[in-house]
Amino acid sequence: GRAMLILLLSATVSLLGGLIFGYELGIISGALLQLQIDFHLSCFKQEILVSALLIGALLASLVGGILIDRHGRRRAILVSNLVLLVGSLILTLARSFIGLVIGRMTVGFAISVSSMACCIYVSEMVAAHQRGLLVSLYEAGITIGILLSYALNYIFADMDEGWRYMFGLAIAPTAMQFLSILFLPVNPVKLSSWDSDCQKGLIQLQNADNREVAKREPYKEKHYSFLDLFRTRDNMRRRTLVGLGLVLFQQFTGQPNVLGYASKIFHSVGFQSNSSAILASVGLGAIKVVATLVAMAFADKAGRRALLMAGCVVMAISVTTIGLTSRIAPLAVARDCKAAADPNVSHSLTQHPLTPVASQPAASPIPPALSAVKSEAGPGFAASRSLTKVFAGSQSREVVPDSSLTKKRGLVGQSEKETVESTGPPFTGAPWAEHTVLNWITLLSMMAFVSAFSIGFGPMTWLVLSEIYPAGIRGRAFAFCNSFNWAANLLISLSFLDLIDAIGFSWMFLLYGLMGVMAVIFIYLFVPETKGQSLEEIDQQFSRKR
C-alpha cells in the first residue's frame, strides 16, 4: 500500500512539474498581445521580456545542480515551488516593465531547477520497470501544459488585464505539486534501511528479494567532484559524452525551428485565415501529446535506445522531405517586427520581437483580428517546440526553452510571424500555391517530425540523463548537460534566419536531415540500453565498459 501511494505521488509530482513547465513556456504568447498594449512595449522590450525566462533558466542550470546534489532532490523541488510562487505573484501584481522582467526571470529559474530535480527524483524513487513510464510523464506534462496555456490565452484574450490571470493561474498547479511532495520520503530509500539521507546509495522501491540481495552486496556511494565529469574515473568521460551528445543532437536536428513554419504550411494546403494558426498550434500540440503518450507506453518495453533511433530516423526523413519539397514549392521567409505604437499593429506579432524594422521587407498587412489569433499561435507555438521542456526540456525541458528563445531573437517569432503573416490574407501568386500535392506532403512530413521528436528525443533524452550518472554527481551532471541544451537552443534559434539567408531554406532543412543521420549513428555507437536495470546496475555497467 505504501509503495502504491508513493508511486501515485511520484507520478503526480512528475506530471505537475511538466505541466507547470509547459504552461509557463506557452502562456507568454497570449500575454504579450495584451502586455504590448498595456505597457507600450517596443520590439526590443518584447525581446527582453521573452528571453528573461531563458536567462533565469540558464542561471538555474549553472547553479541548480549544486543545490540538487548538496541539499537533496526533494528539497530542491520544494524550493523551486516557493520561488515559482514568488515569481507568479510578482507577474500577477506587476505595475512596470521591470517587474515583468524580474517575474519572468524568477519563473525561469524555478522551472529549470524543478525540471532537473523532478526527473532525477522520480527516476530514483520508482522501480526499474516503471522508471521509463514515470519520467516520460514529465514530458507528457509539458505538452499538456502548452495546450492548456493556448486554451487560457484564448479565454482571457478579450478580458481587461487578462494577462494577470494568465500568469496567476500557474499558482494552482505549483501549490498542488508542493503539497504532493510533502507526503513523499525525504529521499529515495537507502539500500540498507528505510531511513532517509539525501545522497547515500539510492534504490528503487523494488520487491523484498531484490532488497535483500542489495543488502548483502552493499552499493558503495562514491563522492565526485565536478571535474570528474571529464576524467576517465568510472568512465565518467564517456557518460558526459553520451549526455552532451543527446542534448546537442536534440537541438541540432532542427527541433527549435521546424515548427516555426507550421502556420505557413497549414496555409499552403488551403487552411486560410484564422483557422490556420489555431490548427497549427492546437493540432500539432495534440499530436505531440498523443506521441508522448506512445513513448511512455513503450519506454520500458521497447527501450530508450530503440525509441531514440526510431525517432531520429523518422525526423531525418521528415526534414529531408520538407527540404526537397521546398526546393520545388518554396516557402517565403520574411523578417519583421512591429512595435506596439498603434494598437492594430501591435497585435501583429510584436511578440515576435525582434529584427530592426528597417531590415524588414514589406510584408502584406495583417488585419488586427487575424493577427491576434495568429500571434497567439505563434509564440505559443514556439514554445511547443520547446518542449523543450524543453528542454525542453524540455525538459524539455524540452526544453524549455524554445519559446523564449526563439522569440528571443524574434526569430522564430519572425519565422513564425512570417509564418503567421502568410496565414492572413493569402499571398496571391505565391509560388507554392499551385503545388497542392507537394504541400500536403510537406504538412504530413511536419506532423511526422513532431510525432517522432515526441517519441524519441523529447522524453528519452531526459530519461537517459537521469539514469547514466552516479548518485553523488547526478544533479551537477544533469545541470551541466541542461545548460548546453539551453545554449544550443539559443544558438540554433538566433542563427536560423542568417543561415537561411546564407544557404537557403531547403538546404537548411537538408542539413537538419544530415544531422539526424549523424544522431542515429551516435546513438547506435555510444548510447547503452538502460531499460529494466536499477540505477546501480547502470552505474556498474558504465564503470566496467571502456
- C-alpha–C-alpha distance, residues 474 and 70, integer Å: 11
Question: Does the pLDDT of residue 309 top 90, yes or no?
Answer: yes
pLDDT tens digits for 50-84?
A: 888 888 998 999 899 999 988 889 999 999 999 99
In order of 27, 288, 328, 512, the CA distances from 496 in angstroms are: 24, 23, 21, 12
Task: Tell me the per-residue pLDDT of 273-286, one tens digit each, with 9 for 90 and over.
Answer: 555 666 667 788 88
Residues in Cβ contact with 276 at an 8 Å cutoff, skipping those fewer than 6 apart? 263, 266, 267, 374, 423
CA distance 185 to 206: 15
Q: What integer is the mean pLDDT of 144-155?
A: 88
- 200-256 tens-digit pLDDT: 333 344 444 444 444 444 455 678 888 878 888 888 888 999 999 999 999 899 887
**Domains of the chain: which residue ranges?**
1-185, 228-330+434-545
Query: Is 466 in contact with 478 (CB distance < 8 Å)?
Result: yes
Structure confidence at residue 400 as a pLDDT band (50, 70, 90): very low
pLDDT band at 185 (very low <50, low <70, confident <90, very high): confident
- pLDDT at residue 110 in the model: 96
C-alpha distance from residue 249 to each of 253, 439, 494 (Å): 6, 27, 17
pLDDT above 70: residue 371: no
pLDDT above 50 for 45: yes
What whole-number distance in Å separates Cα of residue 401 and Cα of residue 72?
A: 25
Query: What is the per-residue pLDDT across 314-346, written as a single tens digit (0 to 9) for each?
Result: 999 999 998 998 888 776 655 545 555 444 333
The one-letter amino acid at 535:
L
pTM assigned to the model: 0.73
Cα torsion 383, 387, 389, 393: sign: negative
Predicted confidence (pLDDT) at residue 133 exceeds the cutoff of 60: yes
For residue 396, with 0-12 CB atoms within 10 Å meaning exposed, 13-18 middle and 19 or more buried, which class applies? buried
Report the topology of domain 228-330+434-545: Growth Hormone; Chain: A; (1.20.1250)
pLDDT at 372 (0 to 100): 31
- Note the pLDDT of residue 399: 38
* Whether pLDDT at 96 is above 80: yes
Average pLDDT over residues 378-383: 34
User: How many Å apart are CA 426 and CA 410, to the nearest integer?
Assistant: 23
**Distances 368 to 425, 439, 512 between C-alpha atoms, Å:** 12, 27, 35
Task: Name the CATH superfamily housing domain 1-185.
Answer: MFS general substrate transporter like domains (1.20.1250.20)
pLDDT tens for residues 484-508?
988 887 788 777 777 888 888 889 8
* Terminal Cα-to-Cα distance of the chain (whole angstroms): 42
Domains 1-185 and 228-330+434-545 share a fold: yes
Question: What average pLDDT score do residues 38-42 get?
Answer: 90
